[in-house]
Amino acid sequence: MKLQSTETSHRATTKGIMHKPSIVIVGGGAAGLSAAIAAARLGAAVTLLEAGSRVGRKILASGNGRCNLTNLSVGPAAYNHPDFVQPVLAAYPCEKIRSFFGDMGLVTYADADGRLYPVTNAAASVLEVLRLECAHLGIEERLEFKVAHVVDAVDPVGFVVSSQDGEQLHADAVIVATGGGGVILAGAGHTRVECGPVLAPIKTDPGPIRGLSGVRVKCAASLLAADSAPVATESGELLFRDYGVSGIMIFDLSRHLERADVLSIDFFPGVAPDDFADVISRRCATLAWRTAETFFDGMLHTRVALAVLRAAGVDPKTPVTELPCERLATLLKDFRLDVHGVVDAKQAQVTRGGASVTEFDPDTLESRYVPGLFAAGEVLDIDGRCGGFNLHWAWASGIVAGQSAARFAAGDPA
C-alpha cells in the first residue's frame, strides 16, 4: 500500500519555529555524503546512517582507486532515463560538481577523454575532503546502522527510521541513498524495478576467440538483436578474455544486453565495408607470394589474424592466391560472437534497477507518494556510461535531494 502523509501543512508551519530541522540520510556512499553536506549547509541537523563499518567504501574503489569524479561531457543522453535526469544535470553540470569539491579543497584535472580526477590520483583524497566537510558541518555519522524500514509517522509528526536492532530515530525528512535496488523505498510503497548488473565484461561463445585472452585491439563493436538489427555501437579499446570481452567500450555496451543476442566486432571501423573489400582484394594481389599464416602481418595482431582465419575455415598454410578474400573482408568488418550475458555480477561497476523514477519529482527528487521522503543516487533506477557519469549522478542527485529535504524540513516551499 502506498503511504500518504496527512501532516504536510502542519510540518510546514512549525519546523522552522519549534526546532532545528532534522534530516536522516540512509546510506553513506557518494550520494549520501553529498546529500548530507548540502542539507547541513542549509542549516539542517543531519544524521548519516551507514550499514557498513565506514562511509564511502565504494568511492575508494572507484576509477581503479583514482576516483573518476565526473566527466566534461556529462549530459542526459548518457543515462537510461534522460528526461528524468535532465533537471538535476542542468542544476549541477560538471563545472558545478567540480566547484563543489573545489570549495572543500580538492584540486582536480581532466584527462584527454574528459574524465575528471583528483590531482593526487587517489580516491582517498576525495573521501577525505568529504569526511572533513561532514565533521566541520556537525553531521552525525552512525556506522553499522542497518535500516529495517522508514515510516511516515503522524504522532510525533515526521518520520521514524527503525534499525534491524529495534532502535528508532525521528526526523522531519528522510533521504534514501543506498544501493540494493530500493528495498527500503519499496517498503514505503514505491515500485521496484528489477535489478541487474551493468558496466561489466560480456560473456561470449569462447570458441571463436580461443587463444586471444589478453590481446587488446582498437575497434568498434555492436550489439545485434536476433534479427541482426543493431542495438548499440561503441568504439575504443577492446580486451579479449577467456570468457569473452572486456574494456570500457564493452562496459558501456553491457547496458544494452537485455535486447541483444550477438556481438559484432569491426576491426577497421574507419573504412566502409565496400572500400575495405577492395583493400583486401588489392592486398591479395600484392602479397600473392605469401601464405595465409603471414597474410595479415603488418595489419592485424598475429593471434587475431589466426582467429579470423579459423572463423573463415582457412588453413594457415593456404597460399594467398587461394584465399577467400571477400569472406575475410566480411569477417574483419563483422566478426560475430554469440552473447551469453555479463560474466559476473560482482565485476559490475553499477547495478541497474531500483525505485521507479516515475514516482519521484525530477526537480526535487521527492517521493510523489510520501512528502518529505527523498531519493538519490543508485537507489533510483538510473545508470550511465563509464567515465564518471555514474558518480556525477550520485553527487548531483545527492546535492539536489539534500537541498530539497532541508527546505521541506524547514517549511520552505521553495
Instruction: Say which residue the cell 530539497 belongs to.
Output: 404
Q: Are strands 173-176 and 22-26 parallel, antiparallel or unpaired?
A: parallel
| Alpha-carbon distances, residue 366 vs 35, 140, 205, 327, 358 (angstroms) | 13, 23, 44, 57, 11
CATH of domain 8-196+350-409: 3.50.50.60
Nearest partner of 205 among 248, 259, 245, judged by Cα: 245
Report how far residue 354's alpha carbon sits from residue 201's, in angstroms, rounded to the nearest whole number: 22
Range(s) for CATH 3.50.50.60 in the chain? Answer: 8-196+350-409
Q: Which residues contact 388 (CB under 8 A, 6 or more apart)?
A: 63, 68, 69, 70, 71, 74, 115, 116
Question: Could you give the dihedral angle defined by the CA atoms of residues 190, 193, 194 and 198, in that order, rounded to the nearest 10 degrees?
Answer: -130
Q: What is the pLDDT along the chain (414 residues), one digit of tens a residue?
A: 333 333 443 344 344 445 689 999 999 999 999 999 999 999 999 999 999 999 999 999 888 899 999 999 999 999 999 999 999 999 999 999 999 999 999 999 999 999 999 999 999 999 999 999 999 999 999 999 999 999 887 666 789 999 999 999 999 999 999 976 678 999 889 999 988 888 999 999 999 999 999 999 999 999 999 999 999 999 999 999 999 999 999 999 999 998 899 999 999 999 999 999 999 999 999 999 999 999 999 999 999 999 999 999 999 999 999 999 999 999 999 999 999 998 877 777 888 889 999 999 999 999 999 999 999 999 999 999 999 999 999 999 999 999 999 999 999 865
Q: Of the candidates 224, 222, 225, which has an alpha carbon nearest to the alpha carbon of residue 236?
A: 222
Q: Which three cell numbers stand for residue 267?
A: 576491426
User: Do residues 199 and 207 lie in contact, with contact meaning Cβ atoms separated by under 8 Å?
Assistant: no
Q: What is the DSSP string of 190-226?
A: --EEEEEEESS-EEE-SGGGTT-TT-EEEEEEEEE-T
Cis peptide, bond prior to residue 156, ω within 30 of zero = yes
Whether the model pTM is above 0.85:
yes
Distance between CA atoms of 64 and 386, rounded to whole angstroms? 12
- Strands 158-163 and 168-171, by their bridges, are antiparallel
